[in-house]
Chain A
């Protein structure tokens, strides 16, 4: 690890200001950034810690019934405090990494990093969540722009994520044996206006919505509604842990299981 300055922000405004200096980097739980820095693959001059900002921590329900989660809220807190309001989301949070990861890693950090195998992008996209930053609100559909790429501008901070609560939802994760990240993870959420299906881990562009499945499930929310569908393998990741065809196959299997578990 190279030397760096460390700033503990107390307010969002503090953090925004600190991040305006050159080569400053926001630090959420550090679950990706710190190992990267230890390997000397990243060398920010200043780390601006966000998890010391009280207004960015916690879970609540707003007037519209949406579950609002502060950007610096840990997975363990979401697992605990969102359970009564949005059980599928809390269940997803409770299976990220291991206890150490869940007690350091944050929802804002995960979404800002947008690892193609992370769990939270599937929940955010699958729920049609709104990603609130210090500057604006971004709809999930406009937020995920590809592997490790998002709509966030330089120095922009995720302060809150707002999840509309569906009638039914479930997340099914098939883990990569080594990292236990999602080899394929599928989030299915049934709203009054239709069903959303978001897939993580599988595609080389990161999380995506499976439109054909959404249409079929919106018409008939049953696993059998997916029988005739297939996900093409061409945009899937192929690596040591699974071929593109295998991932494509798993997308369908996990979607069916999510529907069955949610129904």
Chain B
């Protein structure tokens, strides 16, 4: 019987009531008394030296209160990279300062070099145009393509960084020789060059920030679109502006999607705080959609050559990849870990592969910064691997399903240490593969393909057996790998006198449904109603110092902290019950919301215990504290490893090249599932983004570094009619072995596993249609690209 409450129930998302009825409170909705408006002045060239900025005309315009330029922030800190990566030769990565406002040079179209604050938005915008008109920028040749960037020593994004190279990373460097030897000896080597296309995140809500300063107390407040308010606070205080940590509150209220792009601290956040301090008035800024396209951290953008060495019957002997990864003009906070430890460590996939080596060069270009975007490194790894294995099977005339079966790890092989540094704790990849094949009715494919042929269409089917590492992340491991932050999380459970509960979480919900799902976990564990539990998140003055939401970590890490805090609540409740029932603490049991003395009918309900905690008229104060509130910090001792099998069936119209997705089937192992409906929603959304990347989303800069796809007129988002009705299953469960809830994380899976399934299906359809010369098409597989490939 499906449950109707607690863990495993399809509880309706309580936050949707406000989201869907226009009662959400997003940053731009919040009106502040006395507020004024900031507009950024942005570069319209990709690369240029700032010769002069004359602000006098703008200063004299109506309503103008303050104008800032890079010089105003020359003496404060830069926005740092969160991970220090070392190159193969042991040298540390090159780390240019990322200033609040560009100073000396502008480095990408949209790079802000000045800001205007005025009484009204229109006045600020008018004055910003005047600042731009008063600015002389000497345009320099733009560095756009990565191959050209590293080959051109004379033209530098950052004058102090030769070859525009941030680092040259080998993973694992000690594997290199063995991989080379295994590749040389392999009976067959499949080589594939591919592009993992750059994506614009396109959160529905653009970035927005409001800075406040109280001259009477010296307190600052930043209200901002953030996935992790504590991290933003730490960066602003400790690195950028030097505000004492206890004098800044950061609030991330309702946030309309992030997908990674709102993990990072951006210059606008520091600007509104500095301006608020100077003016003593709230200063607000909201991105226009064009600014989102130009300045939100983009995703992906890898150019990779992957080689797979194999036996003639498809056993993988070695994998080697060489990748150029674009980091854009500046290092965004997680831009250095995303292409390295979130990518290279996944290059063994769910397979038993003896030898793997990854080389990755991170390259500066005159383009927007690139950072983690839903999946963050794992989609890039999965795409390379699943495309290459498909190509290998085709070259060896083997069934792609059989090749995967031959190489997949089996349940008896866990825990399994990969050659690229991860320890997979549990899994059953055969189960999800079998489930997907069954759900998709692969046996009936030939009949469907024949029907398509009769209608003049080409039908194909593509598979992806994926794995990822999430639940980010064990601090003791990431510290060894260069992380400058810990990646634990925290939760405080506050029981009120009437027995209702607030849980303050370090995790931040920006659409995921934490307010519902976390309440289900609490209700289940304490045997109380879900409605008696409220989840509080997003305000650093209320919540414990957690690290926010990204990397499919909220439930696995913050949920585990919450579970630990609940254990403490129950332990404290037992102490109180022992006192009230005049029994030994060791004799108290807790079940179904009731504390009872084992073997007797003496019991106190959870509500009675809570009331007693706050009305402690006869407590033995030496041994029993009043109150019922507990905090726990949880640091995982491993990543979690969701995995699954995705099958995509497509039809191609050979006259136009248009690809239609006929069906998409997902069989996932996410460990234990707290709310199946929310999990299904996460998979639907992730797969939609993956299909978007595979078929339509394309970020193009021209040779001058102008973004050609800077609006929805040219940047295609997947729409409802591009997408099929998904078949989604999560019944194959191997619970995570190292966290208390046995959960693995589902937020990014869809975006990780789906792109190669789509592309494999298209290539399959072309081959079945006789176009065996087409071994690969780079994403996005737009009609124009597919048609062009068919003409060769």
Contact = CB atoms under 8 A, between A and B. Distances in A.
B782 A250 contact: no
A246 interface: yes
Interface string B370-411: 000000000000000000000000000000000000000000
A177 B713 contact: no
Contact of B782 (A39, A40, A177, A181): A177
A40 B695 CA distance: 32
A242 interface: yes
A1 B788 CA distance: 41
A224 interface: no
B787 A246 contact: yes
A210 interface: no
Contacts of B716: 177-178
B656 A253 contact: yes
Contacts of A240: 698, 700, 708-709, 714
B784 A246 contact: yes
B445 interface: no
Interface in B689-738: 695-696, 698, 700, 708-709, 712-717
Contacts of B541: none
Interface residues of A, number: 17
A62 interface: no
B656 A174 contact: yes
A243 interface: yes
Interface string B267-293: 000000000000000000000001000
Contacts of B783: 174, 177, 242
B173 to A, nearest CB: 40
B655 interface: yes
A174 B655 CA distance: 11
Nearest to B653: A253
A80 interface: no
Given A241-B784, A243-B788, A246-B784, A177 B696 contact: yes
Interface string B748-792: 000000000000000000000000000000000011100110000
Interface residues on B, range: 20 to 34
A40 B696 CA distance: 29
B639 to A, nearest CB: 36
Given A177-B696, A250-B656, A253-B656, A242 B713 contact: no
A250 B657 CA distance: 10
Dominant SS at the B interface?
loop
Interface in B126-166: 129
Contacts of B129: 40
A40 B44 CA distance: 15
Given A178-B712, A178-B713, A241 B656 contact: no
A241 B717 CA distance: 14
Contacts of A177: 695-696, 716, 782-783
Given A241-B782, A246-B787, A249-B787, A179 B713 contact: yes
B200 to A, nearest CB: 11
Interface in A11-43: 39-40
B128 to A, nearest CB: 10
Interface string A168-186: 0000001001110100000
A177 B290 CA distance: 19
Most buried by B among A40, A181, A250: A250
Nearest to A254: B656
Most buried by B among A40, A177, A179, A246: A177
B694 to A, nearest CB: 12
Nearest to A242: B784
Most buried by A among B655, B695, B715, B784: B784
Contacts of B698: 240
Interface string A52-96: 000000000000000000000000000000000000000000000
Contact of B290 (A39, A174, A241): A39
B656 A179 contact: no
Interface in A222-263: 240-243, 246, 249-250, 253
A110 to B, nearest CB: 16
A179 B712 contact: yes
A243 B695 CA distance: 17
Contacts of A3: 122
Nearest to B784: A242
A40 B717 CA distance: 25
A117 to B, nearest CB: 10
Interface of B: 122, 125, 129, 290, 655-658, 695-696, 698, 700, 708-709, 712-717, 782-784, 787-788
13 contacts: A39-B290, A177-B695, A178-B713, A178-B714, A178-B715, A178-B716, A179-B712, A179-B714, A241-B782, A246-B657, A246-B784, A246-B788, A253-B656
Given A39-B290, A246-B784, 15 more contacts: A174-B656, A174-B658, A174-B783, A177-B782, A177-B783, A178-B712, A178-B715, A178-B717, A240-B700, A240-B708, A241-B782, A242-B783, A246-B657, A246-B788, A249-B787
